[in-house]
């Protein structure tokens, strides 16, 4: 077996059964990283010595019949924004270029305790705030399907690493699509859990030593090449860690075994904010037909009366408020005159810059109502299938330019979050699966969204769809 082309759970079984050693699996991944990572720039910190030391320790533990964790001896990667003891954590923010973590982030510690071997860290845009991964410290990560195109962001390095078979599993984060759009753009799987299912202690942002302000919508989850891997990773990283009081001890429960005939699936092909490309619409329609043909009850539906623009505004305002809350008035005043901008993001920045507490609580009130509305909608469905982004991976460009979808230009940040913001605002979990290709041969992923705290059922639904789809695709240039 070639360890680099196996999923994390299959590697774990092989190591546990003695068919493969952790040293063999780890060395294979390190050799592949050395051979192909250079132009891809997916991994920006490689801890070869630390990984091999951990792999040797994993093999000794197995030989001594010690208790083995679910990822025992499996090499993985970590988004650069998470603390890994002894390695830099910069989140691509130049003032942190020399910041070395003294301890592991909570989730990194949990993955190590489960037996994972950390190969290194993957590239991110500055402060995880873009869906292109262009780091002022580490440079640009390119898409393994087409080096001209974005690998997504902010977990762009991780998405590229998993797709190019440099790592079977990545730990990422998502406040506006940052584990979902890289999965879509790179042809892999990802999970954005329920808000506060997974704690974020040791993730940047927030900046080290400063007041914690990311208290809404931020989530932390895996990127992988199978739903089984997402399931296994979630069960390792979920649950409170004693640092953040919002993280709730809600049991996950078993993942149900479902059949297509058991399922009721709502389908959204496009929303009124940014119409999807013809390629995207075709993949949505084909996937809906696939499910229906397998026996699922499939219906084109969305919550009645859902105000997409108000929802996006509330997500953006809340996001911007968390960013700007610590800025002095003089800094915020620079944005006051942007209230009439044609760009929805600029208007949101202006609102957040002058937001009063009364307005802030009004945003939260509207959010509460939207959560109830979307949860009620999912009383009638097992999952809601929809696009992740308006189109397949775009050719890398300036953030100042509009993002084009089938030739029509849309404000950059607005277009890039038009389909991902909702599950962050409602806190509902979403699973991304690679479901098809564009006419140019680029992968297209779709997301399944479920009820809050309903990850187990959602993963069960995702496993049904996964079985109907071809295997996780390999970028042609990385097929060997």
Give the tens place of pLDDT for each residue, 58-110: 999 999 999 999 999 999 999 999 999 999 999 999 999 999 999 999 999 99
Residues 185-233 pLDDT 10s: 999 999 999 999 999 999 999 999 999 999 999 999 999 999 999 999 9
pLDDT band at 151 (very low <50, low <70, confident <90, very high): very high
> Does residue 137 come out as left (phi exceeding 0), alpha (psi in the -120 to 50 range) or beta?
alpha
Q: Catalytic: which of 22, 79, 438, 457?
A: 79
Q: Which pLDDT score, from 0 to 100, does residue 397 have?
A: 98
Q: Does residue 328 register a pLDDT over 90?
A: no
Residues 404-431 pLDDT 10s: 999 999 999 999 999 999 999 999 999 9
Residue with tokens 């496009």, as numbered in its chain: 270
Q: Which pLDDT score, from 0 to 100, does residue 330 have?
A: 79
User: Active site includes 270?
Assistant: no
Q: Which pLDDT score, from 0 to 100, does residue 356 have?
A: 87
The C-alpha atoms of residue 193 and residue 458 are separated, in whole angstroms, by 10
Q: Which pLDDT score, from 0 to 100, does residue 55 have?
A: 98
Tell me the domains of the chain and their CATH numbers. 3-301+381-478 (3.90.1300.10), 308-369 (no CATH)
The C-alpha atoms of residue 63 and residue 16 are separated, in whole angstroms, by 10
Question: Burial letters for 55-78: b for 16+ Cβ neighbours within 10 Å, e otherwise?
Answer: bbebbebbeeeeebbbbbbbbbbb
The C-alpha atoms of residue 12 and residue 71 are separated, in whole angstroms, by 5
Instruction: Report DSSP state, residue 472.
Output: P
Residues 166-198 pLDDT 10s: 999 999 999 999 999 999 999 999 999 999 999
SS3 content of the chain, % helix, strand, coil (to 5): 40, 15, 45
Q: Which pLDDT score, from 0 to 100, does residue 85 have?
A: 98
Mean predicted confidence (pLDDT) in 447-468 = 98
Q: Which pLDDT score, from 0 to 100, does residue 476 have?
A: 98
Q: Which pLDDT score, from 0 to 100, does residue 465 have?
A: 98
Q: Which pLDDT score, from 0 to 100, does residue 446 have?
A: 99
Q: Catalytic: which of 91, 106, 167, 178?
A: 178
Q: Does residue 467 register a pLDDT over 80?
A: yes
The C-alpha atoms of residue 359 and residue 367 are separated, in whole angstroms, by 12
pLDDT band at 434 (very low <50, low <70, confident <90, very high): very high
Residues 266-303 pLDDT 10s: 999 999 999 999 999 999 999 999 999 999 999 999 99
- The angle subtended at Cα 42 by Cα 36 and Cα 45, nearest 5°, is 100
User: Active site includes 154?
Assistant: yes
User: Active site includes 297?
Assistant: no
Q: Which pLDDT score, from 0 to 100, does residue 132 have?
A: 98
Give the chain's end-to-end CA distance (angstroms, integer): 13
Q: Catalytic: which of 21, 135, 154, 167?
A: 154
Q: Which pLDDT score, from 0 to 100, does residue 114 have?
A: 98
Q: Which pLDDT score, from 0 to 100, does residue 336 have?
A: 87
Instruction: Report DSSP state, residue 105.
Output: -
Give the DSSP per-residue string, 229-289.
Answer: HHHHHHHHH-S--SS-TT-------PPP---GGG-EEEE----SSSPPPHHHHHHHHHHHH
Residues 107-129 pLDDT 10s: 999 999 999 999 999 999 999 99
Beta-carbon contacts of residue 383 (< 8 Å; ≥ 6 apart): 263, 265, 266, 448, 449, 450, 458, 461, 462
Residues 337-386 pLDDT 10s: 888 999 999 999 999 998 889 999 999 999 999 999 999 999 999 999 99
pTM for this predicted structure = 0.97
Q: Is the dihedral of CA 321, 322, 327, 328 positive or negative?
A: positive
Q: Does residue 325 register a pLDDT over 80?
A: no
């Amino acid at each position: 077996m070639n360890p680099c082309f196996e999923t994390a759970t299959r590697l774990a079984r092989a190591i546990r059964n003695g068919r493969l050693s952790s040293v063999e699996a780890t060395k294979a991944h390190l050799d592949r990283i050395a051979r192909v990572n250079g132009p891809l720039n997916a991994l920006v910190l490689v801890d070869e010595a630390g990984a091999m030391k951990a792999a040797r320790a994993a093999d000794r533990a197995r030989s001594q019949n010690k208790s083995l964790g679910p990822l025992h001896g499996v090499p993985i990667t970590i988004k650069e924004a998470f603390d890994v003891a002894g390695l830099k954590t910069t989140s691509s923010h130049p003032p942190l270029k020399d910041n070395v973590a003294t301890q592991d982030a909570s989730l990194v510690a949990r993955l190590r305790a489960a037996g994972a071997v950390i190969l290194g860290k993957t590239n991110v845009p500055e402060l995880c705030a873009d869906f292109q991964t262009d780091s002022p410290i580490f440079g640009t990560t390119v898409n393994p399907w087409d080096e001209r195109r974005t690998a997504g962001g902010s977990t762009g390095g991780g998405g590229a690493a998993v797709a190019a078979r440099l790592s079977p599993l990545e730990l990422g984060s998502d406040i506006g699509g940052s584990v979902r759009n890289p999965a879509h753009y790179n042809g892999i799987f990802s999970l954005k859990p329920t808000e506060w299912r997974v704690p974020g202690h040791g993730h940047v942002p927030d900046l080290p030593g400063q007041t914690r302000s990311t208290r809404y919508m931020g989530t932390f989850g895996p990127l992988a090449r199978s739903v089984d891997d997402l399931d296994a990773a979630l069960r390792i990283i979920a649950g409170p860690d004693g640092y953040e009081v919002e993280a709730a001890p809600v049991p996950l429960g078993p993942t149900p075994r479902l059949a297509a005939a058991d399922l009721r699936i709502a389908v959204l092909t496009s929303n009124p904010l940014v119409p999807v490309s013809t390629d995207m619409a075709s993949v949505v329609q084909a996937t809906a037909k696939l499910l229906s043909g397998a026996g699922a009850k499939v219906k084109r539906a969305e919550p009645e009366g859902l105000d997409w623009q108000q929802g996006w505004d509330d997500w953006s305002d809340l996001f911007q408020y968390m960013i700007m809350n610590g800025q002095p008035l003089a800094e915020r005043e620079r944005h006051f005159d942007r209230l009439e901008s044609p760009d929805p993001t600029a208007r949101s920045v202006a609102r957040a810059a002058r937001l009063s507490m009364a307005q802030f609580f009004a945003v939260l009130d509207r959010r509460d109502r939207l959560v109830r509305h979307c949860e009620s909608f999912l009383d009638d469905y097992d999952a809601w299938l929809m696009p992740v982004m308006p189109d397949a991976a775009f050719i890398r460009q300036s953030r100042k330019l509009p993002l084009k979808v089938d030739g029509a230009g849309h404000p950059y940040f607005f277009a890039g979050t038009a389909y991902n913001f909702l599950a962050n605002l409602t806190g509902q979990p979403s699973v991304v699966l690679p479901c098809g290709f564009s006419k140019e041969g680029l992968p297209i992923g779709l997301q399944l969204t479920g009820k809050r705290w309903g990850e187990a059922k959602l993963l069960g639904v995702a496993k049904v769809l996964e079985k109907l789809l071809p295997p996780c695709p390999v970028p042609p240039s990385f097929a060997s």
